[in-house]
Amino acid sequence: MISSKIEAALNRQIDLEGFSSNYYLAMASWAEVKGYKGVAQFLYHHSDEERMHMLKLVSYINDRGGHAIVPAFAAPQKDFQNIREIFDIVLSHEVKVSNEINALVELCIQEKDYTTHNFLQWYVTEQIEEESLARTVIDKLNLIGEDKGGMYLFDRDLGNMPGEGGKGGHGKH
């Protein structure tokens, strides 16, 4: 049985993961409208991934005898200056999510909830990958600078990244 304290903390994480999904969906929609199809595919894929992270938490809470609550998510930002701003936001948001996961892990240690601690290790590993990916994308954007040809190639390559939205991804996207 999950403690009410851990249950409440995991429900807050559901809110963050669901908001992340919507945030990346808003970014993807903006990018698509601006003609960045590859960036849009990449972000649609990440929106789906964040939703999967949320659903994994829902299942865990319910399987452990708690009740996962689906909150109303805050509306995400819908307009962005450029692709660089989007990926700066992605990185800072992923760092925030990592900090929240680490706080959950710390709470599990304090509460001696080793089952949830074990469950959260997947999220710890996932966040390392998410932050690394965002930093890699920003490094590429730094190399490109203001070069429009470079941005064209960047957009194309991002949509075709293995494991990203480019292959068998998102309906028409």
Bind-site residues for Fe cation = 17, 50, 53, 94, 127
Distance CA 55, CA 22 (A): 14
Angle CA 54–172–134, to nearest 5: 50
- Provide, for the chain, the percentages of residues in helix, strand and coil under a 3-state DSSP scheme, each rounded to the nearest 5: 75, 0, 25
Q: Which value, in Å, is the radius of gyration of the alpha carbons in the chain?
A: 17
Instruction: Show binding-site residues.
Output: 17, 50, 53, 94, 127
